[in-house]
Amino acid sequence: MRVSRGLLLAVGIPAFFILTALSTLADTSPSPGSTASGATTLPGDPQKGATLYAQNCATCHGASLEGGIGAVLNPIEKLPGVANPLDPAFLIGVITNGRSDNGRTMPAKGGNNSLTDQDVKDLAAYIIQQNRNPGGGALSPGELAKRTILWVSIAIIAMGFITYLLATYNMRWIARRAAARRK
């Protein structure tokens, strides 16, 4: 019996710590586009970009950049074939020219052709700055489901392990009591 309990301890405890560490690393990984010091230069004024975003982009991308009709912008969606979706040149290009991807289409300048080149740079600066904020924006439903499943799985495994240890102890106690009654 000690071999199976030892094996369970040897496998269960490290597995628990590894799953916890992986989850923590996933939560604290630096956002794309930020350097070690977090010093990517902004192409424009993020304060003006916030105003422009609220007026022109929030309808599709959500008030907190959480997505909706348009893509999630905080944390920014990973795009196939794009190394860094927070690269200022890439963002400015997408905002200026639009993009069609995965059945979604973003019109050039979000459909507002009166936006100037500086307005586009300010919008890009706002998106980059928001992605630097710790915790990002609201989690997407899929990401929230993944994290919930992970933590519920860890809790179930931990409860099973504790139940096993308590049952083992209880069985030994019962055996000792039965042996004492026989004497």
Overall average pLDDT of the 62-87 stretch: 85
pTM recorded for the entire structure: 0.54
**169 sits in which H/E element:** helix 141-182
pLDDT at residue 28, rounded to an integer: 47
Stretch 70-82: mean pLDDT:
83
d(CA 57, CA 95): 10
Give residue 134's identity as a one-letter amino acid code.
P
Closest Cα to residue 72, out of 141, 140, 143? 140
- Is the pLDDT confidence value at 95 over 90? yes
pLDDT at 71: 85
More confident residue, 3 or 104: 104
The enclosing H or E element of 159 equals: helix 141-182
- Would you give the end-to-end CA distance of the chain in angstroms? 25
What average pLDDT is seen over the chain?
Answer: 81
Residue found by looking up tokens 């196939």 in the block: 80
pLDDT at 137 over 80: no
Taking 90 as the threshold, does the pLDDT of residue 48 lie above it? yes
Range of weakest confidence among 44-58, 65-79, 124-138, 148-162: 124-138
Provide the 8-state DSSP code for 76. B
- In the chain, the percentage of residues whose pLDDT exceeds 90 is 25
The C-alpha atoms of residue 92 and residue 120 are separated, in whole angstroms, by 6
The DSSP letter of residue 133 is S
pLDDT at 125: 93
Pick the more confident residue, 89 or 24. 89
Looking only at the bridges linking them, the beta strands covering 99-101 and 104-106 are antiparallel
- Decide if pLDDT at 49 tops 70: yes
Note the pLDDT of residue 33. 42
